[in-house]
Amino acid sequence: MRFIEDRIKINVRFSEVDAMGVVWHGNYLKFFEDGRESFGKKTGMSYLDIHKKGYVVPIVKSQLQYKTHISFGDEIEVVSRLIESKAAKIVFYYEVWNLTTNKMSAEGLTEQVFLNNKTRELELYIPGFYKNWMDQANWISG
């Protein structure tokens, strides 16, 4: 399996926790989104870059497994790995690490597909611009 990895650190804000003082479960998907946005900015394949090429990439599948809690004020690290795919989809695997406790708090996966921005039709083949980007990317074998 080949992948490209990005890491970002986030300080958990009060607005991200529930009445028990722990991160509300829905915010983990927002952490995944933060990871994808960071990845896109650092690798030159942001949502805006994809949109300029005539596509949108909605999420069609998400998986999330919770491991340990995160509290207000904790620092976390979101590890985002773009997994190489031969299909016309974008697959990310994530790990959310609580740096305060040094424990993995969650892991998950998202899949996105390419839709033509004008017609909203599903792209059955990897768009040329994305294939070119993948051919030049710095993949890690793992």
How far is the CA of 114 from the CAs of 5, 52, 121, in angstroms? 21, 13, 8
Q: Can you tell me which residue has the tokens 């999330």?
A: 64
DSSP 8-state code for residue 14? G
Question: Which amino acid type is present at position 38?
Answer: S
Q: Phi/psi of residue 140, each to 5°?
A: -110, 135
Q: Are strands 59-66 and 75-83 parallel, antiparallel or unpaired?
A: unpaired
Q: Can you tell me which residue has the tokens 């509300």?
A: 24
Q: What is the 3-state secondary structure (H, E, C) of 88-102?
A: CEEEEEEEEEECCCC
Q: What is the set of active-site residues? A: 18
